Amino acid sequence: MHDLHSERMSGSETRAAGGLAMVFAFRMLGMFMVLPVLATYGMDLKGSTPALIGLAIGAYGLTQAFFQIPFGVISDRIGRRPVIYLGLLIFAAGSVLAAGADSIWGVIAGRVLQGAGAISAAVMALLSDLTREQHRTKSMAMIGMSIGLSFAVAMVVGPLLTRAFGLSGLFLATAGLAIVGILIIAFVVPSSAGPLQHRESGVAKQALIPTLKNPDLLRLDLGILALHAILMASFVALPLALVEQGNLPKEQHWWVYLTALLIGFFGMVPFIIYAEKKRQMKRVLVGAVAVLMLCELYFFEFGTSLQALVIGQVVFFTAFNLLEASLPSLISKVAPAGGKGTAMGVYSTSQFLGAAIGGIVGGWMYQHYGLSGVFIGCAAMALLWLIFAVNMKEPPYVTSLRLPLSAASLQDVGLVERLMAEPGVADAVVVADESAIYIKVDTQQLDRPSLDRLIGSAPVMS
């Protein structure tokens, strides 16, 4: 029997993963492009104050956090595509509303509506419907990379687009991207047989309470909340610091972000490799949080020249990219067997909540205490996170498997116990209504043939 794990992704799986990664990227591009420009260009809008600019930056996070899990659950009922189409249309409508606005309140309303098109859970679920087990991690990684890339592109393209077409042109471009997303779902992404009930990608109601009670998962949820709060608050202050302290006209900010993101992206790679290969994830995470805190203190103390601000941002984005990439991988290691989808749902909700808090608090801090108030506030958030992160346990270095079970294996009451006795098996749970077993394994210790014999089946494609 040839090893399924070395088998290549089929054409339709590649189309599904590539198409959905593009939909994700376009939507995120629309969310992020306003970050580097709203603080500088938004001051020209009627009724604008720094606190309201902060609200406009973070407002999408509130509705995104609120609708994220419900939209995922509805997509289990009525199918993924209708939910994704609806979400993208709501997002486009929010962009058009913001484009037509001449006051800051109109932009805030547009951002709130943009966030209400919360499709991430439905997109992830559709990806699971369209890819086989052994390629799922690869597909999820493609989406992760597309989000990272869209963030980098947004930071550079946002200022360039706004320079050419103003804020309303930027929001119209965002609406256009959402329409392209709809076309990709309609014509590129293959159709699926229907929603699969799948605990690695969707939120399972049974797993919700245990997830909310798990201290290790909550620590990571707090981490992503703090990371995005710090990011959004920093972007109330950094564009203004570049203008006020660095004497850099807002039309030229794009090259600062391009430099910082490029160096930051390549700078994080060795740390990611070290964390995974040497199994030092905790050390790398704690170090990156400490660096983030030091960056904010550095901006507060030394961020008075363009050169200092550029150096600070390079280091900031190295730490930010490293944390953004390692937290989801920690969630999948720490989540109990069969609980990864639910853990990721709560994690995403925390991320959007963090974005909302960061924008709102950052704008308020700037209005009352100026740039230094925002940097000190961000350093305080990072310190709080550091205190929680230092106490985390070294995560288990495990991978999740989902294997189909035969009717006979489903009846086997001692199966989980025998599996848990196998070297390398950290956790196992049978989900009868999916006729499947979820297992967390340490691949360095696992004897795969012996595992397959125990389950009574060579791994079948799911």
Q: Which of 25-29, 31-35, 382-386 has the highest mean pLDDT?
A: 382-386
CATH of the domain at 23: 1.20.1250.20
328 and 431 both lie in a single domain = no
349 and 405 both lie in a single domain = no
- Per residue in 93-126, pLDDT (tens digit) is 999 999 999 999 999 999 999 999 988 888 888 8
**pLDDT recorded at residue 444:** 79
* Contact call for residues 139 and 89 (beta carbons, < 8 A): no
d(CA 185, CA 230): 33
Residue 432 in this model has a pLDDT that exceeds 80: no
389 and 258 both lie in a single domain = yes
- Per residue in 218-228, pLDDT (tens digit) is 999 999 999 99
- Residue 461 pLDDT level (bands cut at 50, 70, 90): very low
Looking at residue 48, the DSSP 8-state letter turns out to be -
256 and 367 both lie in a single domain = yes
386 and 449 both lie in a single domain = no
Is residue 171, in this structure, part of any structural domain at all?
A: yes
d(CA 153, CA 206): 39
Is residue 137, in this structure, part of any structural domain at all?
A: yes
**pLDDT recorded at residue 4:** 44
d(CA 353, CA 355): 5
Of all residues in the chain, the percent with pLDDT exceeding 70 is 94
For 440, the domain range is: 401-455
Q: In 3D, which of 387, 379, 381 has the Cα closest to residue 297?
A: 379
- Per residue in 322-363, pLDDT (tens digit) is 898 888 888 878 888 778 888 888 998 999 999 999 999 999
Indicate the length of the chain as a whole number: 462
Q: In 3D, which of 50, 41, 104, 40 has the Cα closest to residue 370?
A: 50
157 and 247 both lie in a single domain = no
- Residue 196 pLDDT level (bands cut at 50, 70, 90): low
* Contact call for residues 256 and 310 (beta carbons, < 8 A): yes
For residue 133 the two structure tokens come to 């087990």
- Per residue in 380-391, pLDDT (tens digit) is 999 999 999 999
Output the DSSP codes for 423-444: TTEEEEEEEGGGTEEEEEE-TT
Q: Poorest-confidence range of 49-58, 128-137, 249-258, 329-338?
A: 128-137
Looking at residue 403, the DSSP 8-state letter turns out to be E
Q: What sign has the CA pseudo-torsion 201, 203, 208, 213?
A: positive
* Contact call for residues 329 and 323 (beta carbons, < 8 A): no
Is residue 38, in this structure, part of any structural domain at all?
A: yes
179 and 250 both lie in a single domain = no
Q: In 3D, which of 354, 83, 345 has the Cα closest to residue 233?
A: 354
Q: In 3D, which of 26, 139, 170 has the Cα closest to residue 87?
A: 26
Residue 399: beta bridge partners?
441
Q: What is the dihedral of CA 15, 17, 23, 28, to 10 degrees?
A: -150
123 and 159 both lie in a single domain = yes
d(CA 330, CA 119): 23
423 and 359 both lie in a single domain = no
**pLDDT recorded at residue 401:** 78
Looking at residue 401, the DSSP 8-state letter turns out to be E
274 and 354 both lie in a single domain = yes
